[in-house]
Amino acid sequence: MQAHPERRNQLLEIERRSWQLWAITLSITGGLSFGIALLLYPVLEGYAEHFYFERRYLPQLVYGLLVLVVLSGIYSVMKQRELNAIRNFIIASYASAAANEGNYSTDSLTGVLDRSALVELLKTASTRADKIRAPFCLVIFDLWDFKTLNALEGNLAGDLVLKELALLLMRTIRKADWVMRYGPDEFLCLLEGSPRVGGEAFVQRVEKGCAHVERLRRVKINTGLSEYRPEADAELVVGDAEKDLKKRSQLPAPAATGSPA
C-alpha cells in the first residue's frame, strides 16, 4: 500500500508547522524569561532612578511576564492538539483510501478494513506466501472488558478508544501489512512476510505506542498470534490466533500500559 503523494505532502506540512510552532514558542518563552531575569537582576537597582522606574511595580511586571509565559505554553499545546487531530484524520483517510484501492470494504467507525475482507485477504496473502516461500503472521488485539468501559463511560468513549487503537495500529504497521476490524472490540493485523517472532515484536511496539495515548493507557489489551507457513491451510491460521488469544485470556488480567517512562 503506497502512500499517496498528496497525503504524504500534507503530513510533511503538518510536521513542518509543528516544528515552527514550537520554535516560535521557545523563542517567545526565552525572550520573556530573559526579561524576567533582567527585572530581577540586582544590577538593575542602580538604574531604577535613571529610568524613572518605581520598584513597587516590579512584582506586577514579573507576574505579568509569568502569565504571558504560561499563556504562550497553553496556546502552543492547544495548537499542537489541533495539528495532531488533523494528522490523525489524514492517516485515517489514507487507511480508508488504501482499502478502497484494494476493493476491500472498510469499517465505518475506524476506517480500517471490514471483517468481510478477511477471506479474500487471506487467499491473496497465502498465495503470495506460497509463491515466495515466506510466512506471514496474524495478530488479534482484544480490548479487555470493553463492555464495562461502555457501561461506565458511555458508547462515545468506547468509540473514541476504538478509533485511537485503529490509528495506532495503522501508524505501526508497514506499508505491506493490513489492519481490520475483526469484532466489536477486536482488531486483526496481517503482517506480510513476518514469522511469529516478528508478530511478537509488533505487539511490543503497539504496547509502547499505547503508553503515549491518553485513552489507551487505561485500557487493557489482550493479544493472540499465529503464523502461516507455506502450503498450510490459510483458514486454520485464524483459528490458531483465536486459540492463542483464548489461552492468553485465561492468564491473570494484564496490567494497563501505564504512563511512558
Per-residue confidence in pLDDT tens, the chain, 261 aa? 444 566 667 777 778 888 888 788 888 877 777 776 666 654 445 555 554 445 555 666 667 777 777 887 788 888 887 777 776 656 655 654 555 455 678 898 999 999 998 998 899 889 888 888 889 999 999 998 788 887 888 888 889 899 999 999 999 998 888 999 999 999 999 998 899 999 999 999 999 999 988 888 888 899 999 999 988 888 899 999 999 999 988 766 544 444 443
- For residue 19, CA distances in Å to 28, 53, 89, 108, 168 come to 14, 38, 19, 33, 22
Residue 161: φ, ψ to 5°: -65, -45
Residue 51, SS3?
coil
pLDDT of residue 101: 54
Longest dimension (CA), the chain: 90
Q: What CA–CA distance (Å, rounded) separates 219 from 40?
A: 47
Place of cell 495503522: 170
pTM above 0.85, yes or no: no
pLDDT of residue 236: 92
Name the grid cell of 87.
494528522
The answer to whether the CB of 213 falls within 8 A of the CB of 168 is: yes
What does the chain come to in residues?
261
Instruction: Give the neighbor-by-neighbor strand order of the sheet with 113-114.
Output: 113-114, 178-183, 186-192, 136-143, 221-228
Q: What CA–CA distance (Å, rounded) separates 68 from 254?
A: 44
Among left, alpha and beta (phi > 0; psi -120 to 50; other), residue 219 is beta
Residues paired with 226 in a beta bridge: 138
Q: Buried b vs exposed e over 157-193: b needs ≥16 C-beta within 10 Å?
A: ebeebbbbbbbbbbebbeeebbbbbbeebbbbbbbbb
Residue 136: φ, ψ to 5°: -140, 160
Name the grid cell of 74.
497553553
60, HSE (Cβ side, Cα atoms, 13 Å): 5
